[in-house]
Structure 1
């Protein structure tokens, strides 16, 4: 019992206060001084050397690419359009008109309404119009210099002619003069008829073919 009482008395007694060591433990640690700003170093010639971590230095080491920066892509597209001359410009904008027309109705039916060029057989004209634009760009930028110069011209001519011919074929296929009851009212309408997109596709195909012929004549 005496031993138990002594142990309880020792536990209840407050810890002895330490001197300077305890005060040093309780004292807050001093804050380290802020780092000095990085100054531009000078090389042996006396010219200032830029900070390697600055934004300008990073842009010099890794220039902006068109994929990372849309502004670079837009500038490149503007410069490309300014480089086009004569027949190339006419052919390119004619093919562009065909591509834009495919986002419009190419056919109207009594049963299902309008059909865009992209979701109908007009998609074939869309593909060949895009191919025409690609070949114009390859020649204008002189990408395929290692091949015969007439090969890109021939491919462009084939694509533009197929674009025009298929637009005319679609005009014929989408014309069905059979009269059927109109879904609205008591009138009658044709079962199927071409829409504004098909006519714009034909116009764009004609312009693309004429531009290609003008470019070939200038090339000769």
Structure 2
């Protein structure tokens, strides 16, 4: 996605300078570039009117990916837990995780066709999902946050809200990806992972895609079960350690 916005301002300043340079900066979820704009003074009055024009190019944000600080507790695991050590997107690819920012359904459909995802549904997760039952909501959050793997891919396209996916790298470190609207994440079968909503929003709406009828069973790490999916995944990323 790339959008350009042209903004026009009328601004009166008192100055005797012959030129004015204005550099506008904007900070938001989107990454942008701003141009420095220069105008010459058109008259010699102390009070002059300047008509400003600048272009702002808006780009999609890079997903936040970083090593988890490992300071989570049952009370604070929905916080960011950013260690301050970023992880490049390429590292996700090396351990079999697919990430893409997608802002239109055409591109999503293309990926679904390429990867043979025939079926899909949508889920929403927040306190309202449990009709305000805080105990049931907390129990589900704890379940999702327990380290586990699946025997099928786990595909999530974020439609709204925000959440964290944590994945284990070959050195057994947690890599955390903070996902927002437009983020597509595909976890390979056999990878240890966990999920939580963010403390800030406590809400996510996502599309789940799958090839056939998925196996939703979560195989928790503390069970010690190494199925074929887990063994195959471990073998495939051994060289990425």
Q: TM-score range by the shorter chain?
A: under 0.3
**Could you say which structure has the greater relative contact order, defined with CA pairs below 8 angstroms and 6 or more residues apart?**
1
**Structure with more of its chain in strand, by fraction:** 2
Please identify the structure whose Cα radius of gyration is greater.
1
**Structure with more of its chain in helix, by fraction:** 1
Q: Return the TM-score normalized by structure 2.
A: 0.21
